[in-house]
A and B are shown apart, each in its own frame.
Chain A
Amino acid sequence: QKEVEQNSGPLSVPEGAIASLNCTYSDRGSQSFFWYRQYSGKSPELIMFIYSNGDKEDGRFTAQLNKASQYVSLLIRDSQPSDSATYLCAVKRNTGNQFYFGTGTSLTVIP
């Protein structure tokens, strides 16, 4: 079983819609959860991270964490064509400094 699993997509949404990206993780000892965005040919850039159950909002982005279900999601409101990218979910355990990444979900926002 992989540490972090994501639906590879592709996920297509119209401009202005809400994009919902999902991720599950296997280790209950995981402490921190991250969403990265990676444009084609570029390196990943951090969007946001979340530690506690519930929602965390940052501009058009909302991360949601449910530790009981071992599930983390990212909502992108008012999706823009510039949001078209691969979104990587990453998890960090409560020991060490090792990040585990999912294989990413490809998102396309259609104008």
Chain B
Amino acid sequence: KAGVTQTPRYLIKTRGQQVTLSCSPISGHRSVSWYQQTPGQGLQFLFEYFSETQRNKGNFPGRFSGRQFSNSRSEMNVSTLELGDSALYLCASSRDRLQETQYFGPGTRLLVL
């Protein structure tokens, strides 16, 4: 069974641009969560999607948004990029909202210059 896939793996953007990251969960998994990981703050929860609906949102500004498609694939978008948005963005999938096991993708490393 294929794992969680994320594209692209690496991105370089400049301040003010916007970026879209993609996540394909494990087949059969319907819950997708997004996290931002930085050396100083660690792993911080961005949002969770289930059945194409955002179920939870972390404490991030409105520049961070996401969506989920009917095939459970998810995208997150960051608009008006800031230097502080440089981070590893991780996507995790689980079968449903009650399942305890989350499987992480390899991440997208974003560098904002």
Contact of B31 among A49, A97, A100 (CB under 8 A): A97
What are the residues of chain B within 8 A of A46 when measuring CB–CB?
A: 101-103
Residue-wise, chain B 95-107 has the 8 Å CB interface mask toward A (1 for contact) of: 0011011111111
What bracket does the count of chain A residues touching chain B fall in? 20 to 34
B55 within 8 A of A: yes
4 tightest A-B CB contacts, nearest first:
A103-B42, A101-B43, A43-B104, A97-B97
Q: Is A88 an interface residue (CB 8 A)?
A: yes
B24 at the interface (CB under 8 A from A): no
A36 and chain B: residue at smallest CB distance: B104
Interface of B is mostly: strand
Question: CB-CB < 8 A to A49: which residues of B?
Answer: 100-101
Q: Are B102 and A102 interface neighbours, CB within 8 A?
A: no
Least Cβ distance of A50 to chain B in Å? 10
A88 CA / B48 CA spacing, docked (Å): 20
- A residues bordering B, Cβ < 8 Å? 32, 34, 42-46, 49, 88, 90, 92, 96-104
Check B43–A98 contact: CB distance below 8 A.
no
Evaluate whether A34 and B100 lie within 8 angstroms (CB atoms) in the complex, with A88-B43, A97-B31 already known.
yes
Contacts of A97 in B (CB 8 A): 31, 33, 48, 50, 55-56, 94, 97-98
